């Protein structure tokens, strides 16, 4: 979030309103996520069993981001029933397993957008979305801007960063 605040204050040429608007929308989306997370973390302490379930599920999700993952499969991987899995994961993480998986896929897609030349469709496939449209909708919901705008913005940011002496 600090990055977005610094970008907004760095803007000297307000003629590039599309970029400013994209940055502002991304900042608002991040603030909304932060508020949701802070509300979720006000719950009571979490048991070891619930933490174990969340840990096993997170590891499995991150190892298999590009594959279809159902809650039933995740529950089976953790050795618990679907209802217990949903409850344990949500208590431990503050968000549902589906939401965590979507966030993890979006984070991985951000890395790919910044570091590869893969097309948006290819990135959607690599991170496990059913199609480019579904990926773009989820990306906008999480980040507040399109994958293309994110890629463009991160390339501009890389070009503007001063080179560090070796």
What's the confidence (pLDDT) of residue 165?
A: 61
* Lookup: tokens for 40: 């979720």
The answer to whether the pTM exceeds 0.85 is no
What's the confidence (pLDDT) of residue 66?
A: 93
- The whole-angstrom separation of Cα 113 and Cα 138 is 15
What's the confidence (pLDDT) of residue 32?
A: 66
- The whole-angstrom separation of Cα 42 and Cα 46 is 11
Q: Does pLDDT of 39 surpass 70?
A: no
Residues 6+ apart with CB under 8 A from 166: none
- The whole-angstrom separation of Cα 40 and Cα 21 is 29
Entry field: residues in the chain: 166
Q: Does pLDDT of 90 surpass 80?
A: yes
Q: Does pLDDT of 36 surpass 90?
A: no
């Amino acid at each position: 979030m600090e990055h977005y605040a610094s970008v907004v204050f760095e803007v000297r040429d307000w003629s590039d309103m599309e970029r400013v608007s994209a940055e502002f929308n991304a900042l608002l989306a991040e603030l909304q996520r932060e508020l949701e997370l802070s509300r979720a973390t006000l719950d009571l302490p979490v048991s070891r069993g619930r933490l174990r379930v969340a840990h096993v599920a997170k590891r499995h999700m991150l190892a298999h981001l590009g594959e279809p993952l159902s809650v039933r499969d995740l529950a089976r991987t953790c050795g618990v029933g679907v209802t217990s899995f949903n409850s344990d994961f949500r208590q431990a993480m503050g968000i549902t397993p589906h939401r965590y998986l979507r966030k993890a896929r979006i984070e991985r897609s951000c890395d790919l957008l910044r570091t590869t030349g893969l097309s948006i469709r290819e990135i959607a496939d690599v991170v496990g979305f059913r199609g480019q449209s579904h990926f773009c909708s989820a990306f906008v919901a999480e980040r507040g801007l399109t994958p293309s705008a994110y890629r463009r913005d991160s390339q501009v940011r890389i070009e503007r960063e001063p080179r560090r002496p070796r």
